[in-house]
Amino acid sequence: MSDLPGVVRLRDRREALTLRTILTAARRLFAEHGYARTPIRSIAKEAGVAPQTIYAHFGSKAGVLNGLVDLMDEEAGLPELLAEAAELTDPDTLLGLLAKACRQARERCGDIATMLNTGAAVSPDIAATQAEGARRNRLGVERVIERVRATGCGVHPKAVDIAVALMSAGVHDSLVLDADWAPEDYEAWLKDTLVTAVLLPMHAT
pLDDT of 9-51, one tens digit each?
Answer: 545 778 888 999 999 999 999 989 989 899 999 999 999 999 9
Q: What 3-state class would DSSP assign to 134? A: helix
Q: Which of 20, 38, 59 is the last residue of a domain?
A: 59
Residue 38 belongs to domain spanning: 1-59
Residue predicted with more confidence, 31 or 95: 95
Q: Which of 9, 27, 59 is the last residue of a domain?
A: 59
pTM above 0.85, yes or no: no
128 and 204, same domain (yes or no): yes
CATH classification of the domain holding 19: 1.10.10.60
Whether the CB-CB separation of 49 and 28 falls below 8 Å is answered with: no
What is the pLDDT, as a whole number, of residue 202?
Answer: 66
Q: Which of 59, 90, 106 is the last residue of a domain?
A: 59
74 and 49, same domain (yes or no): no
23 and 74, same domain (yes or no): no
What is the pLDDT, as a whole number, of residue 77?
Answer: 87
- CA dihedral 40→66→191→90, nearest 10 degrees, is -140
Q: What is the pLDDT of residues 113-160, one digit of tens each?
A: 888 888 888 899 999 999 999 999 999 999 999 999 999 999 999 999
83 and 176, same domain (yes or no): yes
30 and 122, same domain (yes or no): no
- What average pLDDT does the segment 167-188 reach? 96
24 and 111, same domain (yes or no): no
46 and 88, same domain (yes or no): no
| Cβ within 8 Å of residue 135, ≥6 positions away | none
**Residue 6: band (very low, low, confident or very high) from pLDDT cuts 50, 70, 90:** very low
State the burial class of residue 45 (Cβ atoms within 10 Å of its Cβ: 0-12, 13-18, 19+): middle
111 and 187, same domain (yes or no): yes
| Cβ within 8 Å of residue 192, ≥6 positions away | none
CATH classification of the domain holding 199: 1.10.357
Q: How many domains does the chain have?
A: 2
